[in-house]
Amino acid sequence: GAGVSQTPSNKVTEKGKYVELRCDPISGHTALYWYRQSLGQGPEFLIYFQGTGAADDSGLPNDRFFAVRPEGSVSTLKIQRTERGDSAVYLCASSLTGGASYEQYFGPGTRLTVT
Amino acid sequence: GENVEQHPSTLSVQEGDSAVIKCTYSDSASNYFPWYKQELGKRPQLIIDIRSNVGEKKDQRIAVTLNKTAKHFSLHITETQPEDSAVYFCAASGAGGFKTIFGAGTRLFVKA
């Protein structure tokens, strides 16, 4: 079946602009996660959703970052007033809830470059 | 806050040798410990995981051990092959495997 998909695969934006990154999870997966991965580092937790609600957003670095999942499927990560330090690969993952496996399935990521 | 330390950052072994990667975690509430493999330019993929009620788990050439008292866990790869070359990440999370904290990664090189 289809895996987690993310669009766009690459995004170049100017400092100060607004960007939206989209994630399509695996069908039926109720949990959805956003991570940020800088070069040479592990994925950094940002936020996760259970259904439509943000269950834990403690990893969002500041109030310029916001994420939504209005219908419990597709999610959008929104970054306002982008800064050069926001440049990274943004990874999305999804998982089943209540199953025997806790495995998170990752998407290919969106590489964000802020110039 | 929660933290996961991973060592070494780089590991080079000869084909056929064993590789060991070690991690420590800070949050005593952690009870799920996955390991992910990430090849260059690819997405992370789960290779093995362990829950806190188990001390060791094995899957063919890969094994993971967990010491909850000391708050550390390790990945062991035996009979390494060139295709094992990748970056490996350990991680820790609480019940349900939701909020997950990753280590910084270990770049493994297996020389043929």
Query: For the segment A10-63, what is each residue's pLDDT rounded down to a tens digit?
Result: 999 999 999 999 999 999 999 999 999 999 999 999 999 999 999 999 999 999
> Mutating which of B30, B89, B93, B99 best tests the A interface, going by the most A Cβ atoms within 10 A?
B99
Per the CB < 8 Å rule, is A106 touching B44? yes
Joined tokens for residue A103: 């495995």
pLDDT in tens, chain B (112 residues): 689 999 999 999 999 999 999 999 999 999 999 999 999 999 999 999 999 888 999 999 999 999 999 999 999 999 999 999 999 999 999 878 889 999 999 999 999 9
- Say how many CA atoms lie within 13 Å of B96 toward its Cβ: 14
Section A87-102 average pLDDT: 89
Q: What letter would DSSP give residue A29?
A: -
Asked if B96 lies within 8 A of A102 by C-beta distance, the reply is yes
Cβ B22 vs Cβ B4: under 8 Å: no
Q: Nearest CA to A62 among A86, A32, A39?
A: A86
Per the prediction, chain B carries an average pLDDT of 95
Parallel, antiparallel, or unpaired for β B72-77 and B10-14? unpaired
pLDDT score for A24: 98
Residues 14-43 of B with CB under 8 A from A: 32, 34, 42-43
Of A42, A45, A107, the CB nearest to B99: A45
Beta-bridge partners for B48: B35
Out of A44, A95, A107, closest to residue B43 by CB:
A107
Give the sheet arrangement for strand B4-7, strand by strand: B4-7, B19-25, B72-77, B62-67, B56-59
CB of A106 less than 8 A from some CB of B: yes
**Minimal C-alpha gap between A40 and chain B (Å):** 7
Q: Are A6 and A108 in contact (CB under 8 A)?
A: yes
